[in-house]
Structure formats: C-alpha cells, structure tokens
Amino acid sequence: MRFELDEDQRDFASALESLLAGAGTVAAARAWAEGDHAPGLGLWKRLADLGVTSLATEASPVEVAIAFEAIGRHVVPGPWIESAAFLPVLLGHEVEGVATAVVPPHVPLALDADVADAVYVGGDPAPSGASIGDPLGSVDRTRRLFRVEDSEGSGAPLHQEAFDLAVLACSAELLGAGERVLADSVTYVGQRTQFGRPIGSYQAIKHALADVRIALDFARPLVLGAALGDVPVSAAKVAAGDAAYLASRTGLQVHGAIGYTQEFDLSLWLGRIRALVGAWGTASFHRERLLQQLTGTGAEVR
C-alpha cells in the first residue's frame, strides 16, 4: 500500500511549517525550560488558532500525525499530547486552554502542571485543592514534571481510543524530532573539517547517517499506517522511538562534545527524544502489546 497525503493535508503541513519556521521555537523552548512561559503560550495560541487543538475531534488521526511531526521537528514546548490528542478524545470535545493529565501507570507525572489551566487524573479533573508537588527533573529541560496528590491511586481503566491517539501523537513527534536531528547532522558534517576534508566525506560518517535515514524511512509508513488504522499504533511507537533514538545517538557522535552542551541547540532535540522514547508507554510495553495483538492473546491497554 502506498501512503500519500492529499492536497488539503499537504497544505495543512505547509501552513504549519511556515508558521513554526518563523516562530522562534528554539527561543520559546529555552525560555520554557527557564520557567518563562510567555513565548511558549504565545506560540500555543497561534497553533490553536490554526486548529491544532481541535484536530482530535474535528479531523482525522492523519492530521494529528502531521501536526505532531511538525511539533517534534521544531521542538515546540508544552503538554501538546495531553491537550491536543489524549484529552479531547477522552472528554469528547476540544480542550480550552492548556491542559495536562496523569494517566497511570504509563504517564505517572503531570507535564507542565504549573502552567496548565486544568489537570486531569485519568479521565477526571484533579480534585479541588489537590496538591501538585515541586517540579521533578527530566532529561528534557523543557519538560517540567509534577506529582499530583493521590494520582497513583486512580483505578479508572484507560480509554483505549484516547490512549492510542496519544501514542500516535508521541510517535509522530519522535519522527519529526529524529528528522530534524538528521538534517542538522548532515548540515554539520558538510561544514566541519578534519585533516583538510569535511568529516561528511568519510565513509564511516556516511554509513552512520545512512543508517539513520533508513530507520526513519522505515518508521514513517508505520506512523502513517497507524494514523490510517492499518497498523497497530504500538508498532509505530516502537519504530519511531528506535529511529529517533538512533538519530540522537548518531547526531551526538558526529557533532562531538559540542552536541550535548546546553548552549548548542541540538541538545534540545536530544533531550526531547530521550524523554519521548519512554513516554506514553515504554518500548517494552509496546513490544509486548504488539505481540499480544499479533498473536490474538489480548490487546487491551493495561
């Protein structure tokens, strides 16, 4: 089967890219990491005005995947998966403002609860007066994680459709982040010289980057297939997570020591990828779930 976006979907992707390319997303992400949410919230409003927060209820999962690939490619900060994928399906309507959620056991901490207008535990609003703890450290400096009082005790079953759309969004975001790291790495190895030659001319570098290209190219049809309902979403999450993680490891290797410094923008994508690989279900969980689906031994979210 051949997966191609239709004209409207291509136009939507182009509009997103045009908006985000000139929106200063890196500066917004850095400010968000330092506790200054104003640039990120301004960007949130612009994306909401473009319809991103209504895609889950008014469009198809394909549009959701398109949007989240762009979010990953431009390292947009904020609880987008919760607000624009999980909660709209769970609640049956678009979420107003910024919202976040604790979804035990796969999402045990509330992302950006300090800036959210609403915090949900499972499918219910957090109890009035529920305490939100101090921010916890994350490998991604733009992700501020919070414990919500009594969230561990939520016994509500997970909503399968809402969870799967969140997993799809996470997969697409990983794919976008991996593509950005690969693109930046290719640019860098064409500029960085060693022994009088660009390091990208060395066979070992070419092979490493080619492996990333292949991994991302194999992950993309699985993400699109999951958006169309033809591929289990767990397969998309595993493939996108593995491909993006390979991109991050390879990107760090070809950039050398500068790659992991906070001053270098690449570090934002490296942290985002590492965080999202384990978000909305670990790789081991999704591999087990996929095995159950393929063998018919049970496929419900646990």
User: Dmax over Cα atoms in the chain, in whole Å?
Assistant: 65
Q: What is the pLDDT of residue 154?
A: 53
* pTM listed for this prediction: 0.94
Q: What is the pLDDT of residue 122?
A: 75
**Helix 7-21 and helix 61-73: axis angle, to 10°?**
20
Q: What is the pLDDT of residue 296?
A: 85
Q: What is the pLDDT of residue 299?
A: 47
C-beta of residue 158 within 8 angstroms of C-beta of residue 223: no
pLDDT per residue as tens digits for the range 60-86: 999 999 999 999 999 999 999 999 999
Q: What is the pLDDT of residue 194?
A: 84
Which residues lie across from 107 on neighbouring strands? 103
Sheet holding 118-121, edge to edge: 99-102, 118-121, 124-125
pLDDT per residue as tens digits for the range 20-51: 999 999 999 999 999 999 999 999 999 999 99
Name residues of the chain where pLDDT drops below 70: 1-2, 127-130, 150-157, 298-302
End-to-end CA distance of the chain: 31
